[in-house]
A and B are shown apart, each in its own frame.
Chain A
């Protein structure tokens, strides 16, 4: 038993962090909304880091490295499809309303329909939404091209998108800590108020839980890929619940500043939305988890669902 990721994976994450910070950190996401070249630079950086060489299904260490990279991508809401780059352009998708974040950035995609497991080729259907909450979200259309990809890559994408949300959550908490340590009201730092401390404690506790669950789920994928659809869905539910709660709390702790784009928390909240809403939101994810548990069971101390 060892819950710690391998050293190589951590080193890979460290390299990714340096690369993303040298590109400007959260500023990269900020500028990508108006500067068309920025996302391409982020994509090139992922390629230079060796992301296309990762074999996330064939090699547990590769998956662990991808997890660390995606976490770092989440910390700066990197304006590029980090999780999908790790799976070779494969994403989980809702075939009835296919939308992909940065769908306009790659010429071809493979989408694994979450409900059926069917893999379909997709291309962008028009330009990105360019909205505040989905600046790079793009409607997709199916094509007849045979993808030849392993549908389990959709499961891996689920795990990696959970890692992205872990990075978002970690960064949001750091930003809030920095703010409450410095902001003074009623003659004291607002971190002195127990009401603030308790909100911090709950956010930190949820983030610690998400960190463990991300690593555990990656391990499950590496040892039992078929059954790990239950694990990936469970991670997604917990990641969505945690990220929504933590982003709300940390933005609240920023006061009105938290709504302003000059503050990183605002960029984080806006740019994290595609990870929270695609392929669909948490309550439908719970339904899919339910179906997966009925079929594949749920690993634990006692039997559940399909494997009794």
Chain B
């Protein structure tokens, strides 16, 4: 029994932290603000990572990566999320679009897309959810009908909650090419350029901030055979494969822990103390972040030995997302009325706590609601009998 991630992982963590300190300005809260400089920071940071061969560290060597272990990948996830994801929207291309292309793409797709992703040149968005297909994703209705001239398909439909759609150059789009006996059949995945005629992106104003949520409309959008990822009609299998990369989920606990640490520093610098009740909440926040991290590590270990338990993955998701919200509320209790300020109006820790609270509200919705995760845990415990 050993909970040390090892020297190589520790060294990687140190390298990433120094690079972040050098390249990312203090007060950076992610690329999804109204400040175009923030997007520029992420684009520059990805280029720097690519130059040092760190961007695709986790990818297999044959695709230009460094064959990083599961624990290396864990360190990258933790450090990036803890520091407000200085890779910006590109994490999606690196974390699962790239690996899905490796698994299902043609040689041509691999050559084009993996090169672009690996160079830090491209932003992807994910066209999965629809107004009537959220948790029940397989009910999606966006259609890809055979083109009248027999050359490819024409896409008609609507996607929703699509993060980064305004800035993305490509979309992994799930559309129905046929109607099978089961709703999981007949779905096809397309690697679609976002500048193609007929695509309209409509930002959704939300508490999360700019770029997080969009609607995307498709009207007669042309898509071709060479843009299909995997086989036609076999998209559900590709989606399931892609989602296995998401099983560990975002290392939310890492940002939680960093913010708790920053709060302590801020209070120490000003000579202030938390009240006894808030201090008690702070202690529980530390414990929740540790438990969430340990549950995530259990899942990583299972992936490493090829024995992933879906129930453990869902339990980790539940713990991590609830930790995110617990810490968000705890931090608000600590800063009291300053919780109403944002970065521009003088919030403590350059607005990171206010930003965290807003973003944490979506933690139990994004990438699979907590209700679905609970159902998976319960089903496993009850032996499938529900």
Residues of A within 8 A of B (CB): 1-6, 60, 64, 173, 177, 180-181, 189, 191-192, 194, 197-198, 200-202, 204-205, 208-210, 212-213, 215-216, 218-220, 234, 237-238, 241, 283, 286-287, 289-290, 293, 298, 300-305, 308
Which secondary structure characterizes the binding site on chain A?
A: helix
Q: Is the CB of A286 within 8 A of B280?
A: yes
Given known pairs A201-B377, A301-B78, the reply for A6 and B1 (CB within 8 Å) is yes
Alpha-carbon distance A98/B315, docked complex (angstroms): 38
Q: Is B205 an interface residue (CB 8 A)?
A: no
Query: Once the chains bind, are B261 and A303 in contact (CB under 8 Å)?
Result: yes
Interface flags, B344-386, vs A, CB<8A=1, else 0: 0000000000000000000000000001011101110111011
Q: CA of A99 to CA of B83 in the docked complex: distance in angstroms?
A: 47
Please, how many angstroms separate the alpha-carbon atoms of A245 and B12 in the complex? 39
When the two chains form the complex, which single residue of B2, B268, B315, B373 contacts A2, counting CB atoms closer than 8 Å? B2
Q: Which residues of A contact B293 (CB under 8 A)?
A: 300-301
Q: Nearest chain-B residue to A196 (Cβ)? A: B378
**With known contacts A208-B295, A300-B290, A305–B264 Cβ distance under 8 A:** yes
A-B pairs with beta carbons under 8 Å apart, 8 shown: A3-B3, A4-B301, A197-B375, A198-B378, A204-B381, A213-B291, A213-B294, A304-B261
Considering residues A1, A219, A298, A303, which has the most beta carbons from chain B within 10 angstroms of its beta carbon?
A: A1
Interface contacts beyond A208-B319, A302-B257: sample of 16 additional A-B pairs, CB < 8 Å, sorted by A: A177-B381, A197-B386, A200-B381, A201-B378, A201-B381, A209-B292, A213-B287, A287-B280, A290-B283, A293-B286, A300-B257, A300-B293, A301-B82, A301-B258, A301-B293, A305-B264
Complex contact A301–B254 (CB within 8 A): yes
Decide: B382 and A197 in contact? CB cutoff 8 A. Answer: yes
CA distance A301 to B385 in the complex (A): 40
Instruction: Kindly identify which residue among B4, B5, B264 contacts A304, using a CB–CB cutoff of 8 Å.
Output: B264
A-B CB contacts (within 8 Å), total count: 147
Given contact pairs A204-B377, A301-B78, A216 touches B290 in the complex (Cβ within 8 A): yes
Report the minimum CB–CB distance from A163 to chain B (whole Å): 13
B78, B293, B382 interface centre (most CB from chain A within 10 Å): B382
Q: Does B284 contact A (CB under 8 A)?
A: yes
Contacting pair B290 A3 (CB below 8 A): no
CB-based contact B294/A3 at 8 Å: yes
Q: How far is the CB of B315 from chain A (nearest CB, A)?
A: 4
Pairwise interchain contact B295-A209, C-beta atoms closer than 8 A: yes
Q: Determine if B6 is an interface residue (Cβ-Cβ < 8 Å).
A: yes
Asked whether A1 and B295 contact (CB < 8 A) given A198-B378, A289-B283, the answer is no
Given A213-B290, A216-B290, A300-B290: A5 in contact with B1 (beta carbons within 8 A): yes
- A201 near B3 with CB under 8 A, answer no
Residues of B near A238 (CB, < 8 A) are: 287, 291
Q: Which residues of B contact A293 (CB under 8 A)?
A: 283, 286
B315 with A204: CB separation less than 8 A: yes
Interface presence of B117 (CB below 8 A)? no
Contacts of B379 in A (CB 8 A): 197
Within 8 A of A (CB), among B106-136: none
| A75 to B357 CA separation, bound complex (whole angstroms) | 39
Nearest-neighbour CB distance to chain B for A213, whole angstroms, equals 6
